[in-house]
Structure 1
Amino acid sequence: MPELVRPGDPSYDAARRVRNARIDRRPAAIARCAGTADVVAAIDHARAHGLGVAVRGGGANVAGWGTCDGGLVIDTGPMKQLVVDPARQLASAGPGLTWGEFDAGTAPYGLALPGARNTGVGIAGHTLGGGVGDLSRQFGLTSDNLVEAEVVTAAGAVVRATADENPELFWALRGGSGNFGVVTRFTFRLHPVSTVVAGPIVHPYAAVPAALRSARDWLATAPDEASLIAIVWTAPPLPFIPEQYWYERGALLIPTWFGDPARADEVLRPLLTDPAPVATAIRPMAYADYQSLLGSPPDFASQHVYNRGELLPALPDDVLDRILQHWQASGPNYSVVFGALGGAIGRGGPTAFAHREAQWFVELCAQWYGAADSELHVGVAADGWQALQDVTLGPYLNLLPDTDPEWVGAAFGANHERLVAIKQVWDPENLFRFGPALHSPPAN
């Protein structure tokens, strides 16, 4: 049996917390599961007591899908098993692993998997929501590299999902969320990745529009082995940012080259010339070190977050100007992240991830301390994504804080009806009811 933490227990408040302090919910119990048998027992307990189930891995979902009010949270955080088969380039991973832990386990073999840029994010939710990362232009989404899943169903059965066994469930798990069961083991295809050439490029406020245009134009002709993240923000006191630019608004570009290191200078040079940065630290580094360049803030557990990502087919001047003008008019706690897509993402599938034609994701970020319901901060980010609805393909499920059925449907796009049908097969009573709504009938 898993350890059950209930209201009144000394560890309850700590056990119910997720990474976003804005999400403050009180489950009836938290089941801390160490293995598949614990998950089965937890589901049996939920069904016996008429409780809905939320599933938590890393606990980083911006909408708080890893917790609930009044239901049972199945906490898979203790399930951190990782077995790497370097000969077959496969990894069998528990759902409690974070990306930092996963990367540390595969790095000694010179292998990696496209994954989140924040090492504190869990592998489970990221995979089930599709999963983008800097390796995705070369090797596809995280979910494209999932070859097998062990799943505990709403009935408490343990099943295997692959391209040949339960193929509809397998299709749904790769980008359709964790709304169909609890994945207790992921088996991933890995890729040879060891040293990369990457690093920060810092631009001041006045150069932001030119820097973003340069980055966009560079990516349009860059090989798939190249990737990019760009942030317009109020710069924190990071060691690679000159001190006079700390707490000032500006842009940070982080290009990455996964190809032949001898070509790195040739490929990355255009980003260093027009406009010229005020600082840069591009160098060869281990992939795991690259993934740690942008860590979580020191007091992230107290930070309120409202982040939403939109998937864009292009980033023309008028759209880029619209985004930057909104950022320029907003406060210091608002930032925008531009992430490179395209490449192998567009060639992947078929999976439940809907918007493969996207070339960019744009993440509109409000992060603050103080009052959790601050309309000042939420309103700025909400205005930003609402202004993109005429050009977006849809929201990115892993960065969707607005869980109305309209936006869940937009995230799933043309795959929505198929996902609804699969939900009816695997969870007809809607036991897993705290994730993205797939219009199953409510539980009795």
Structure 2
Amino acid sequence: MPVPGAVFPGEAGYDAARRVRNARVDRRPAVVARCASTADVLAALSYAREHDLGVAVRGGGANVAGWATCDGGLVLDVGPIKHLRVDPTTRIAEGGPGLTWGEFDAGTAPYGLALPGARNTGVGIAGHTLGGGVGDLSRQFGLTSDNLVYAEVVTADGRVIRVSADESPELFWALRGGGGVGLGVVTSFGFRLNPVRGVVAGALVHPREAVPAALRKARDWLATAPDEASLIAIAWTAPPLPFIPPALQYERGALLIPTWFGDPARADEVLAPLRVDPAPVCDGISPMTYVEYQRLLQSPPDFAEQHVYNRGELLPALTDDVLDGILAHWQASGPNYSVVFGALGGAINRAPAGETAFAHREAQWFIEICAQWYGAAANPVHVETARKGWRDLQAVTLGPYVNLLPDPEAEWTRAAYGRNYDRLVAIKREWDPDNLFRFGVPLHDAPIS
């Protein structure tokens, strides 16, 4: 059976087809199959089984570990599957796995509806959802995966099934937070949408000397803020973004982006504490649409040339000692190292433990340790700086966030899935007994072909 949209080594377009967003990942699959439909996915899987090829599934290709590609196997690229149908009455959106968050948000915004999703509009919806999915709306409406109501899945043995709470419920449980282990190919997602008509948000810029005070203020503010409020904060070397004053571009400092999704009349009251003591040198808070908000932090134009080693850790608290340690490491590190602080809590915490495969619902903070650089891919200076950053958190973290886990060792996979690990292994054995989908999160007790 021919492979749909096949590109083989040596053919025109092969190097472009095999690439993912992280330039540090450089792998050479035996074939890349660009699938535009469920029928194409079935044909590609049939070819893989016939030729004894393991399968890596690619949606947006943004995973930091490079799960969307492989050496010597078949890359099943569902990027061309981009359908989106929105029913504003039922508030259900059905979307293809090739959609990016920018495309998805643009399609739901005209109805005043949105889904908690990635802050980077170039990230695909598929991997983000299957790994749990954290977004700025999550304090109100839960994880992306909490809002998944059904999915169409092509299984390893070539069946097309619908999964939901009532149809193959164990597989549905696993897809919501554990999908990175390779359980099938999702060719359509059905999401419950939420009403979001506007946002009051913007950039608060602080110079290097004010970073500790600004982050303490942000932490204390979030502890009592309503669920309609959220926050992302970054300790970084500021890039030349439009809202960064020229004198602070390429300088160390902090960026706070607080958000208010509630009644606009309350925005000034809720956000006021973050605008004083310390006062930002630049205050860009203003009303905006949700789509405008999602575009505040875009990838650099040359992101495809950037080497990335990023890891996320989920923390139950951000104490003074923990924050001081994170910032001391950041202050001593080079300009290619940054730390992202993301607000959790709210609806994420309230969902019953064990309802989905996402394990660490008690987390209050998401800490992303980031090394991003150009030049040589295997640069130990950058990688080891980042590794020290997350290792220093191991005494206080609940575990890593599976969507940002570049380290495949067994202890980290187990830590990411926590109490759900053994259940995921059992489901993997049932739905993929020959380990056809072997290039995702490694389950070290699952069968290895």
Which bracket does the TM-score occupy, shorter chain normalised?
Answer: over 0.9
Alignment of 1:60-139 (within 5 A): 60-139=62-141
TM (norm. structure 2) is 0.98
Alignment of 1:32-431 (within 5 A): 32-178=34-180, 179-349=182-352, 350-431=355-436
Asked whether the equivalents of residues 429 and 440 of structure 1 are also in contact (C-alpha less than 8 Å), the reply is: no
Asked whether the equivalents of residues 150 and 183 of structure 1 are also in contact (C-alpha less than 8 Å), the reply is: yes
Give a deviation string over 1:29-75, Cα, whole Å, max 9, x none: 00000010100111110000000000000000000000000000000
Quick one: which amino acid aligns to residue 105 of structure 2? D
Stretches of structure 2 that go unaligned for 5 or more consecutive residues are: none
Q: Report deviation, 1:270.
A: 0.1
The whole-number CA distance in structure 1 between the counterparts of 2:407 and 2:319 is 26
Give the equivalent residue in structure 2 for 1:435: 440
The whole-number CA distance in structure 2 between the counterparts of 1:154 and 1:73 is 14
Give a deviation string over 1:155-207, Cα, whole Å, max 9, x none: 01111110000000000000002410000000000001121000000000000
Kindly tell me the number of residue pairs found equivalent between the two proteins: 443
Instruction: Among all aligned residue pairs of Structure 1 and Structure 2, give the percentage whose two residues are the same amino acid.
Output: 76
Secondary structure at the counterpart of residue 392 of structure 1: coil
The whole-number CA distance in structure 1 between the counterparts of 2:242 and 2:98 is 31
The whole-number CA distance in structure 2 between the counterparts of 1:39 and 1:194 is 36
Residues 1:18 and 2:24 are matched in the alignment: no
Q: Report deviation, 1:274.
A: 1.1
Secondary structure at the counterpart of residue 107 of structure 1: helix
Secondary structure at the counterpart of residue 106 of structure 2: helix
The whole-number CA distance in structure 1 between the counterparts of 2:351 and 2:303 is 34
The whole-number CA distance in structure 2 between the counterparts of 1:403 and 1:193 is 37
Q: Report deviation, 1:241.
A: 1.1
The whole-number CA distance in structure 1 between the counterparts of 2:78 and 2:303 is 21
The whole-number CA distance in structure 2 between the counterparts of 1:159 and 1:348 is 27
The whole-number CA distance in structure 2 between the counterparts of 1:192 and 1:278 is 33
The whole-number CA distance in structure 1 between the counterparts of 2:67 and 2:373 is 20
Quick one: which amino acid aligns to residue 41 of structure 1? A
The whole-number CA distance in structure 1 between the counterparts of 2:288 and 2:202 is 9
TM (norm. structure 1) is 0.99
The whole-number CA distance in structure 2 between the counterparts of 1:307 and 1:63 is 9
Q: Report deviation, 1:22.
A: 0.1
Asked whether the equivalents of residues 92 and 185 of structure 1 are also in contact (C-alpha less than 8 Å), the reply is: yes
The whole-number CA distance in structure 1 between the counterparts of 2:245 and 2:305 is 27
Give a deviation string over 1:377-436, Cα, whole Å, max 9, x none: 000000000010000000000000001121111000000000000000000010000001
Asked whether the equivalents of residues 36 and 184 of structure 1 are also in contact (C-alpha less than 8 Å), the reply is: yes
RMSD in angstroms over aligned alpha carbons?
0.6
Secondary structure at the counterpart of residue 210 of structure 1: helix
Asked whether the equivalents of residues 128 and 175 of structure 1 are also in contact (C-alpha less than 8 Å), the reply is: yes
Q: Report deviation, 1:297.
A: 0.8
The whole-number CA distance in structure 2 between the counterparts of 1:440 and 1:110 is 43
Secondary structure at the counterpart of residue 342 of structure 1: coil
The whole-number CA distance in structure 2 between the counterparts of 1:89 and 1:82 is 13
Secondary structure at the counterpart of residue 176 of structure 1: helix
The whole-number CA distance in structure 1 between the counterparts of 2:53 and 2:34 is 16
Give a deviation string over 1:362-386, Cα, whole Å, max 9, x none: 0000000000000000000000000
